[in-house]
Structure 1
Amino acid sequence: MSGPLLAPDERLSRVLVRTVPDAVTERLSDLGNVPVAVPVLVLAMAYSVRRSRAWAPALTAGLAMALVPAVIVPLKAWTARPGPLEPWAAGYYPSGHTATAAAAYVGAALLIGPHARRPWPMALALFLTAATATGLILRGWHWPLDVLASCFLCTPLLLLVARAAARAVRPAA
């Protein structure tokens, strides 16, 4: 592997890995597990449908979540990047846990936000996604660029969810 960002990414990782106890970073990383993050999205989808009587935003959020592995897994196979603590293993770039957290938590916030009329859903979603990414980096399971790439890759999917949610709450003309 090579590239202009590889050396700074590795240096930053060496400074950060294991600076926080593993018990803490593992719990943060677990926020990106499918059994943790996806139920949050499913509950937000149900809440959104109940409140707005519109299925499109919820289905768009579900589709975005379903597309995460379709985007992430081929890139992991293609790049075959080793992990910070496991140089013999491959498939760390981009981070599936970060992508799952972003799609689930930010998707949920986009569905709930218009009904809450408060900034807390998005603030909480960004916090949970950042906590997941931080846990993955500090534990040594991912390089910093792995988690950053996942956030960028999820952005177009989440923009579609935001657009569908905004259309559902617009007042009828």
Structure 2
Amino acid sequence: MARSVVVPVVAAVLLLVVSWQVAVDGPLLGLDRSVRAAVRSFHHEHPSALLDQLGRLLSDLGGGVPAVPVLLAAGGLAAWWWRRAGAARWWLPLPVAAATAVLIPLLVVPAKAAFARLGPLGDRLAPGQWGWYPSGHTATATFSYGVAALLLTRAAGRWTARGLAAGAVVLALGVGAGLVWSDYHWVLDVVASWCLAALVLWALDRWLPRPGA
């Protein structure tokens, strides 16, 4: 039981601490500046158009397209797999996928507006513009690919399930890294979205039934 609550407890504490530090402009934000300085220094010392292009590509994987269409397609595929597996509520992945797509902006947009954090480039926010905290692209990627994998792994074989879970983790980490590398987000913006998604995924994993169970 203790192990089962480690992830949500750590994620919740880290999210609260980071949010508090962002709200009060606390010393933890020095980590943001240090990471950005290190990345900028590496850019300067080892210029690479290939790495820059890869960073932008990874960042784009956290956009509403392709992340949300992948989520919805996975919901449809999972429903088919669940039906083949004999699940009574085989249709459940469809509303779960749709609800996840709606949940992402409901969680992220109010937080962005409330914290109104400036991005790494320091540009002032225009009237009505949301801030940078937490990272919307990171949240979209982690929620979308994470829930997609979760729905599919319920009716997948052992190795397929492991591959899907690993793929979702790699995509979430890759999008976050791409955003920081491309100077689109502070690293703590990304960490906060990972924590938020971890809490939702943990809860969904415990609520979602397994076909045939």
- The TM-score with structure 1 as length reference comes to 0.89
Structure 1: distance between partners of 2:198 and 2:186: 20
Alignment match, 2:55: 25
SS state at 1:116 partner: coil
* 1:56/1:43 CA distance change after superposition, 3 Å: same
| In the alignment, structure 1 residue 43 sits paired with structure 2 residue 73 | yes
**Consecutive unaligned residues in structure 1, runs of 5 or more:** none
Which sits farther off after the overlay, 4-13 or 14-23?
14-23
2:57–2:178 contact (8 Å) kept in structure 1:
yes
Structure 2: distance between partners of 1:55 and 1:4: 48
| In the alignment, structure 1 residue 150 sits paired with structure 2 residue 176 | no
1:57–1:168 contact (8 Å) kept in structure 2:
no
What code does the residue aligned with 1:131 have?
Answer: G
**Consecutive unaligned residues in structure 2, runs of 5 or more:** 1-23, 84-89
Offset at 1:22? 2.5
Offset at 1:164? 4.2
Structure 2: distance between partners of 1:14 and 1:87: 18
* 1:15/1:87 CA distance change after superposition, 3 Å: farther
Match of 2:211 among 153, 164, 169: 169
Match of 2:132 among 78, 81, 92: 92
SS state at 2:184 partner: coil
Match of 2:163 among 120, 129, 133: 120
| C-alpha RMSD over aligned residues | 1.8
Identity of aligned residues (%): 37
2:67–2:140 contact (8 Å) kept in structure 1:
yes
2:154–2:210 contact (8 Å) kept in structure 1:
no
| In the alignment, structure 1 residue 76 sits paired with structure 2 residue 99 | no
Offset at 1:170? 4.4
| In the alignment, structure 1 residue 7 sits paired with structure 2 residue 30 | yes
Which sits farther off after the overlay, 88-97 or 138-147?
88-97
What code does the residue aligned with 1:24 have?
Answer: L
Q: Which has the larger radius of gyration?
A: 2
What code does the residue aligned with 1:73 have?
Answer: V
Offset at 1:92? 0.5
SS state at 1:146 partner: helix
Offset at 1:8? 1.7
- The TM-score with structure 2 as length reference comes to 0.73
Structure 2: distance between partners of 1:32 and 1:43: 16
Structure 2: distance between partners of 1:169 and 1:52: 6
What is the number of residues matched between the two proteins?
Answer: 170
Q: Cα deviation per residue 1:42-69 (whole Å; 9 max; x = unaligned)?
A: 1110111111132224322321231111
